[in-house]
Every structure is written in C-alpha cells, then in structure tokens.
Amino acid sequence: MQSIIKSYCKLLVLTFFVFASCIPVKTLTVDFPVPAEKELPDTIQSLAIVAQYNNEKFSDLPGDSLQKILYKKKFNLDTVIYDLMMADTTIQVLGQLLFESGRYDYIIPENRFIEPEGQPQASSMLSWNQVNSICKIFNTDAVLSLDHIAARVITSYGNKSYYDPYMSGFYSLAAVEMKIGYEAIFRVYDP
C-alpha cells in the first residue's frame, strides 16, 4: 500500500514539474551583424556629421507632439513625419557610436542642418564644394551626411469582441495597433 502511495506522490510531483516548467512557444529573432562589403578607407579617421533637410517638409516638433497628434486623430492615423529633433538625435547617437568604435573622431557642427542646393529632392546629394568647405572648416577627413530621414506612423484603434470558452461568453475590448517604420539615407563624402 505504501509503495502505491509513494508511486502516486512521485507521479504527482513529476506531473507538477512537467506542467510548471512548460512555457508557451515564443519566436525570438536574432540579428547577426554582417560586415560591410566595402569598408571606409583607413585614411578616414575623422568625420564631420551633418544632416540635410527640406525646409518645406521638416518641422521642429516638441517632445510630446506624437502623443498629441495621435489623440487628435483618435488613434487612427497613417502619416509620414519629418522631424528635426529625430534627425538631430539620430546624428548625435551615430557620432557616439562611431567614437565608441575606437576608430573615428567626429565633429557635429552647431549649424549641422544644411538645406539642399537647387531643387530639393528626397535624398539630394551635397555638392563637392560644400563637402570640401566642411572638411576644411572642421579639419576632418570626410563628411557623413544624413541625407534623408522619415518616420512612417500607422495606428488603428477600435473595439473588438472575443469569445472566452472558459467563461462561456463574449467580451469586448479596446484594441490599439501601432506600426512605426524609419527610413534613412546616409552618405559618406570623401573629398
């Protein structure tokens, strides 16, 4: 009799561990960095980091502006945002990462936003006169330019209902979906 009770206890403990140790399957994406096909030449040790912007498209939104935009549009939005603060943060972080690599020194000029010459396009290139001037003024080997940056924001809000089989009933809930995609074009100008 005691052996049967011990067997049941062992089975109960084993069952507890099996069910307690199980977790739902979850996808985990791991990105492995791939070295660039073409590295910057060893002669480039210092970079001036600038950004181009189209005065007609870009705005200087305050920090909480995205929340206000979403609220005013009742969380249903599909838009592209061109923001100077986003561009500035991007080049500041890029400069820090380049410096931490141990290979590059960088300068971010106070007047780092350059309006494109001529007919502005989504990703106009800097003229070589501008590049040479920037390199000469800041005594750098090359210019790293953020020639285009934009954020695409798509949100949707709505009420949904679902059936809960355990409670045998339908329940409503508010569902919000937000997708944000960033696109950026960087160019290195080596005079």
- Strand partners for 186: 146
Rounded Cα distance, 122 and 54, in Å: 8
- Tokens 């080997």 belong to 141
The candidate with the shortest Cα–Cα distance to 147, out of 87, 92, 60, 81, is: 87
CA distances to 90, 152, 163, 189 from 183, in Å: 11, 8, 39, 20
pLDDT in tens, 135-157: 898 898 999 888 888 888 888 87
Alpha-carbon span 109 to 184, nearest angstrom: 20
Q: Measure the N-to-C terminal CA separation of the chain; round to a whole number of Å.
A: 90
* pLDDT higher than 80, residue 90: yes
In order of 42, 90, 103, 104, 138, the CA distances from 96 in angstroms are 19, 10, 12, 10, 18
pLDDT for position 115: 76
> Residue 83's pLDDT is what?
76
Task: Note the pLDDT of residue 149.
Answer: 84
> What are the residue ranges spanned by the domains of the chain?
43-189
Question: What's the mean pLDDT when you consider all of the chain?
Answer: 77
The pTM assigned to this predicted structure is 0.64
Instruction: Give the pLDDT confidence of 11-21 residue by residue, as tens digits.
Output: 666 665 555 55
pLDDT at 63 over 70: no
Instruction: Please report, to the nearest 10 degrees, the dihedral formed by the alpha carbons of residues 112, 118, 124, 127 taken in order.
Output: -70
